[in-house]
Chain A
Amino acid sequence: MTSGTIAASIAEVDEDVALAEVRKALDAGTDPLVLVEALRKGMSTVGERFEAKEYFLPELILSAEIFNQAIALIEPHLGEAGGPSRGSVVIGTVQGDVHNIGKNIVATMLRCAGYEVRDLGIDVAPATFVDTVKETGATLVAMSGLLTVAFDSMKATVEAFADADMRDSVKIIIGGGSANDKVLGFCGADAYGKDPSEAVKLAERFLG
């Protein structure tokens, strides 16, 4: 069955097979929502294998690439029936930091898991996080930062939400190479994730 093949090829991080099967299925008129579900199933397996330390960063990166390419093929067929959203997330790498690989993977995995994600990119000012939450109504903010200079930017962003009287209406999580309890305490966020799988678990915890 095609959707099983697609899920399996994503799980095996087989780019050529996965994309070929998606194209074949679309040509055959398969329901695009079934294909999206197959992609999510495959990515879920990737996440499980990452947690089990069978897969590492290259598998996450490549599976995210496959997912994004596959979604790009499927999206024109989706129309308005995009499926229900589990919640809205704003994500970005904080001000002064331009690293984005980990943030991109988290954004993809959150989308896989059914969340609407607004990715603000890199070097994001605190005010931009606040304004985007106002615009989207997102209730989860995910900040990424690799450098130690990100600590101050994370703290400034949390404070920006407090200054805007919005701190109680969002949950804020942090991630990146330096994230730990000490950084969490310093910046005043709600939780931190050490890897993309943990980020998805935090989204499930805070958004359902």
Chain B
Amino acid sequence: MKMTKRIHAKDTMTSEERLRAAINLQVPDRVPVCPRIYYFAAKYAGVDNADLYDPTVWNDAINKCFRELGPWDIINPWGFYHIEVLSLIFPMKLLVPGLTLPRDSILQFLEEEIMEFEDYQWIMKICKQTPSLSFLRLVMKWEPKIWSQVSKGWKGYAYMMPRLLDHLLTWRKEFKQWNEKGVTPLSGAGVEAAFDSFSMARGLVNFARDLKKHPDEIARAAEAMTEGNLYLIKSASPILGIKRAAIALHRSSNDFISPDTFKRLSLPSLKDLVERLKADGMSSHLHCDGNWDLNFEALRELPAGCAVVELDGTSDIFKAKEVIGDRMCISGDVPASLLALGSVSEVDEYCHRLIEEVGRGGGFILTAGCEVAPNAKPENVKAMMESVVKYGYYDQVTAYKATAAGA
């Protein structure tokens, strides 16, 4: 369905056009904005976090935020209605609100061994046997260790596949509904990057040993996984109708590894995946949790004009603009602590600075850093949404001259 609705009266582009321009490092009509809301919606709507697994409750809550604190251009597709599907992004044991935590808690992760050391070799073996299905086979090997309701073997597949399909079809329906409001999804299908998957699934202590004693196995297994990751993304994308893939990198920041380790062991498989997605006409949204300041230079190896680096407030986003702004779109990074504890004027001032400096020349999406904190002040969220209208139209910016930049 072709989007026609504009969000604000002054807009000369649709949200989809604006987002694509930002990703392609062209200058849109104004800076696009995506709040990145999940648990905040529950608090704002007066429901428990555990209620968000019901798609009706989730959609009511996020739409209440849109009506009263928005509007916004871009929606983060984060409704999860089958908890087991989360393991594609978080291959770890989870404590879940409503199941193993109080209903108003938030998801938490346990550093336990899901992946055995022998799995590195197993991964390389299955990637030779069934390259396309390798990622799926890996997920299905780990799922029974994470969720007691998922059995090993064909019974596990019989449990998971309908849930995965239902998840995709529910998102497809939601994307259509947002489209009718003039809002476009940030991304569609997604995976956790292979290196990061291993870090999460091995647990930090085991993985620290693996990095010291078996770094080459990590790199080889990660590179072998690209085909499987690509297959899953390319299979899900036509169902969702979105040619933007989310690649989560929860453990490749410098909070976890050195820049040298990133370059040697994490980047090669990431680069392979991003390049192959670009060859298929897809952009990559790299969710870069943590501090990436020492990794920015290495990110220049990724192909230009097809990837977004999503920063969460702990990196220096202004340094990111200097180092990679000519090759990658940058999104971020209003910090959780500012939205939760700051004043409206502090949020407005920070967003203004982001728009002026990181938005210079295009290639910027204003978002919360990672996620709007569950305890964010609603007025601060509204101030963030309003800032792109106050400061974000490129033809009105006088502090700098906007220039078009192509890939």
Chain A residues in the interface with B (C-beta under 8 A) = 13, 15, 53, 55-59, 61-62, 65, 96-101, 147-149, 151-152, 177-178, 180, 182-183, 185-186
Contact = CB atoms under 8 A, between A and B. Distances in A.
Contacts of B375: 148-149, 151-152
Interface string B93-111: 0010000000001101111
B246 interface: no
A65 B205 CA distance: 8
Contacts of A151: 337, 340-341, 375
- Lowest 4 A-B CB distances belong to which pairs? A58-B208, A148-B373, A61-B208, A62-B208
A96 to B, nearest CB: 7
Interface in B347-404: 373-375
Contacts of A15: 209, 212
A148 B257 CA distance: 23
Contacts of B211: 58
Contacts of B256: 56-58
A177 B108 CA distance: 14
B207 A182 contact: no
A180 B209 CA distance: 31
B314 A177 contact: yes
Interface string B300-335: 000000000000001000000000000000000000
Contact of B341 (A56, A96, A182): A182
A58 B106 contact: no
B205 A98 contact: no
A57 B255 contact: yes
A62 B342 CA distance: 38
Interface residues of B, number: 32
Contacts of B341: 151, 182-183, 185-186
Contact of A62 (B212, B314, B338, B374): B212
14 contacts: A56-B258, A57-B204, A58-B207, A58-B208, A58-B212, A58-B261, A61-B204, A96-B105, A98-B95, A101-B204, A177-B290, A180-B337, A182-B341, A183-B341
A197 B110 CA distance: 24
B209 A62 contact: yes
A190 to B, nearest CB: 18
Of listed A58, A99, A149, A177, residue having the most chain B CB within 10 A: A58
Given A182-B338, A182-B342, 20 more contacts: A13-B212, A53-B258, A53-B294, A56-B256, A56-B257, A58-B208, A58-B256, A61-B204, A62-B209, A65-B205, A96-B105, A98-B95, A98-B108, A148-B337, A148-B375, A149-B105, A149-B375, A178-B337, A182-B341, A183-B337
Of listed A148, A152, A180, residue having the most chain B CB within 10 A: A148
Contacts of A185: 341
B254 interface: yes
B374 A148 contact: yes
B336 interface: yes
Nearest to A186: B341
A180 to B, nearest CB: 6
Interface string B248-276: 00000011111001000000000000000
Contacts of A100: 111
Contacts of B338: 182
A15 B206 CA distance: 13
Nearest to B107: A147
A195 to B, nearest CB: 9
A172 B336 CA distance: 23
Contacts of B342: 182
A62 B213 CA distance: 11
Contacts of A148: 336-337, 340, 373-375
B209 A149 contact: no
Nearest to B376: A148
B210 to A, nearest CB: 9
B108 A97 contact: yes
Nearest to A65: B205
Contacts of B207: 58
Contacts of A61: 204-205, 208
Contacts of A56: 254, 256-258, 261
